[in-house]
Amino acid sequence: MASCTVKNDKVENFRYLIDEFADIKVIRYTVPGWDKLSLRQKEYAYHLSEAAKWGRDIAWDQNCSGNIALRHTLEDILENYKGERSGEQWDAFVVYAKRVFFANGVHHHYAEDKFFPECSREYFRSLGASEEVLDYVYDTEKWQQRRSTATDRDIVALSAVNFYEGVTREEVEEYYKSIEVKGDPHPVSYGLNTKVVKNAEGKVIELPWKLGGIYDAAISHIIEHLEAAAEVAESESQKKALGLLVEYYRTGDLRKWDEYNIEWVKDTEGTIDYINGFIEDYNDPLGRKGAWEGHVNIKDVEASERTVALSSNAQWFEDHSPVDPRFRKPEVKGVSAKVIDAVCLMGDAYPSTPIGINLPNADWIRKEYGSKSVTISNITHAYTYAAQESPRNLLDEFAYSEEEKELEKKYGAYSNEVHTDLHECLGHGSGQLLPGVSSTAMGEYSSTLEEARADLFGLYYCADPKLVELGIMPDLEAYKAQYSSYIRNGIFVQFNRVELGRPNTEAHMQNRKLIAQWCYEKGAADNVIEKKVRDGKTYFVVNDYEKLRGLFGELLAEIQRIKSEGDYEAGKALVETYAVNIDPVLHKEVLERYAALELKPYGGFINPEIVPVKRGGKVVDYRIEYCDDFLKQQLDYGKRYRAL
Ligand code: ZN
């Protein structure tokens, strides 16, 4: 029997939520597996992180050409201003500075719109800002959106991004049409690493972002650390990939970029992995230019082992599932998911960051060589822990009793993750259709029913002693946290995301409503789930966890039957009866209670620092240090990685 050790990476007495301003919250994440790395692995991660941090200025400059000069002004004022550093105007200035640091520029990181300080221009000037910088900050006409969403005018001219200069959309499109090779099965990502301008003769040309080109200073430091990393890589494959990446940075050759990606995607064995380059094209109105991004991560060994344990026992789960044996797969294979923990986020992935990675982007490489798809565990956890620390939070507002809250705090994040693993690794792959039944028989109800099937598989097995036996669940209490929060959310809390008067239409939300509502109604006679009202507030409370498990099993059997037999009418009836309509009274209540919490809709992160520990002039270890001050980290990076 495997032993169940750390099932919760929450560090005691560690503050996750660091700062809140405007519509933003800043969070810290921890790196649980760091101490298990060898010195060589730590050195590898250290140099990859340095290579990431040296790209920071590139992302700022790409977002808009005035951002770097503005940032230098903000840094100078925050570090050196000797006048009164308090009062309404100063506070407004500091909030503005934090917003700029969070967005890597003057445009909202998500909404794309330019935002403005609430202190006056006169005040900002009195702090020491130049007229040029003040124009950049206060001009309401120019640079309105980072990526323009206009439909009637030139989105290239209107976008503030620093990808094009003095060219129209038409000219850019003409240019790329003229250089792209038609019918190439292996097309390079034309325009990924260049700025498009006109030369002295008025001809459209590309200026590459490379060593000796634009961003030379930053890229030379990136190369220096990539080369140092290559020296201590975990494998020949990693070393080869880094060599190709360096060559690409030296030459700007997009063929090298593709070669690099092919080598990078092959390396699935390493503990440490990274992203470094011009990656996502969402910021470009024409969807070509890659925003610079850095990411360093280590494999979450425990979480990855968990998914391996599940998938290698896939047949046991299939054979014991509560569905009619005719609908079970005689031979089933589980999928094992890879889980990672971030060590360093940078550029377009910092401070706001994705919780999953799916790269490379080139379609032909994905098709011929595959892609890496991973979830970032410590980032997801940090969001959860930070939300619990917030004085006003969803749990305190919508959980009925202290007992329920304690259960959630102790097991919630972990049991939810195990549920997700069961859903992804086993749920979707389980079951079979009867001969002659079409896989498209469920029509427009198929996504909702399929998600419900996978969720129910996870919910049913969450509570199974087999998971404790496999060392996946710590005990027979942990699943209760998942049951309570699933019901609370599915029947009630999740509707804070739906406009009042609108029906529930999104497939995942429908599936959760279907399951929670069905169990609420079917278990009514036994009071399995009880609707309670206290001080005018409604709560949904699970009274009988074992009976609820029975209901999950029953509904799983029914939905599997519907799918296996292709019973469209029954599938339709389930969705339309239980998933679509939202009780208008409850809907109004949840929206009001949610609004009153005034939660910050956007979150982002502070990086831990990887600090070399020296003894006798030699590095003997690399230690992780956790910074707890957002501005301090930003100012520190400004000094240490100033390239532009
Ligand atoms: Zn799914």
Classify strands 608-615 and 618-626 as parallel, antiparallel or unpaired: antiparallel
Span 60-96, pLDDT tens digits: 999 999 999 999 999 999 999 999 999 999 999 999 9
What confidence tier does 375 reach under pLDDT thresholds 50, 70, 90?
A: confident
Span 179-219, pLDDT tens digits: 999 899 999 999 999 999 999 999 999 999 999 999 999 99
User: What is the 8-class DSSP label of residue 489?
Assistant: H
Residue with tokens 């909702």: 448
Tokens of residue 392, six digits:
């006003």
HSE (side-chain half, CA atoms, 13 Å) at 434 = 12
Return the pLDDT at 617: 94
How remote is the CA of residue 283 from the centroid of ligand 1, in Å? 28
Return the pLDDT at 358: 86
How remote is the CA of residue 565 from the centroid of ligand 1, in Å? 21
Nearest-angstrom CA–CA distance, 167 and 328: 60
Q: What is the mean pLDDT of residues 465-489?
A: 96
Nearest-angstrom CA–CA distance, 6 and 300: 12
How remote is the CA of residue 99 from the centroid of ligand 1, in Å? 35
How remote is the CA of residue 437 from the centroid of ligand 1, in Å? 21
How remote is the CA of residue 579 from the centroid of ligand 1, in Å? 16
How remote is the CA of residue 341 from the centroid of ligand 1, in Å? 22
pTM score of the predicted model: 0.86
Q: What is the mean pLDDT of residues 434-459?
A: 94
Taking each helix axis from N to C terminus, what angle separates 216-231 and 56-63, rounded to the nearest 10 degrees?
A: 150
Span 608-639, pLDDT tens digits: 999 999 999 999 999 999 999 999 999 999 99
How remote is the CA of residue 423 from the centroid of ligand 1, in Å? 6
How remote is the CA of residue 487 from the centroid of ligand 1, in Å? 18
Q: Above 60 in pLDDT, residue 225?
A: yes
Nearest-angstrom CA–CA distance, 279 and 289: 8
How remote is the CA of residue 428 from the centroid of ligand 1, in Å? 7
What confidence tier does 1 reach under pLDDT thresholds 50, 70, 90?
A: very low
Of 9-13, 146-150, 277-281, 594-598, the least confident: 9-13
How remote is the CA of residue 451 from the centroid of ligand 1, in Å? 5
% of the chain exceeding 90 in pLDDT:
87
How remote is the CA of residue 447 from the centroid of ligand 1, in Å? 9
How remote is the CA of residue 213 from the centroid of ligand 1, in Å? 45
Three-state DSSP at 411 gives helix
How remote is the CA of residue 424 from the centroid of ligand 1, in Å? 6
What confidence tier does 523 reach under pLDDT thresholds 50, 70, 90?
A: very high
Closest CA to 504 of 496, 179, 256, 375: 496
Nearest-angstrom CA–CA distance, 272 and 358: 16
How remote is the CA of residue 491 from the centroid of ligand 1, in Å? 19
User: Cβ distance 637 to 104 under 8 Å?
Assistant: no
How remote is the CA of residue 454 from the centroid of ligand 1, in Å? 6
How remote is the CA of residue 413 from the centroid of ligand 1, in Å? 18
Q: Above 50 in pLDDT, residue 511?
A: yes
Intra-chain end-to-end CA distance of the chain, in Å: 56
User: Cβ distance 419 to 462 under 8 Å?
Assistant: yes
3-state helix, strand, coil in the chain (%, to 5): 50, 15, 35
What confidence tier does 8 reach under pLDDT thresholds 50, 70, 90?
A: low
Of 422-431, 583-592, 625-634, the least confident: 422-431
- Across 501-607, the runs of DSSP E, i.e. the strands, are 529-534, 537-542, 602-606
How remote is the CA of residue 445 from the centroid of ligand 1, in Å? 14
Classify strands 537-542 and 372-376 as parallel, antiparallel or unpaired: unpaired
Nearest-angstrom CA–CA distance, 357 and 579: 31
How remote is the CA of residue 513 from the centroid of ligand 1, in Å? 15
Three-state DSSP at 596 gives helix
Nearest-angstrom CA–CA distance, 559 and 567: 9
Cβ-proximal residues to 429 (8 Å cutoff; 6+ apart), any chain: 314, 329, 332, 333, 334, 335
Cα angle for residues 427, 430, 433 (degrees, 5° grid): 135
Closest CA to 115 of 127, 124, 105: 105
How remote is the CA of residue 484 from the centroid of ligand 1, in Å? 20
Return the pLDDT at 9: 73
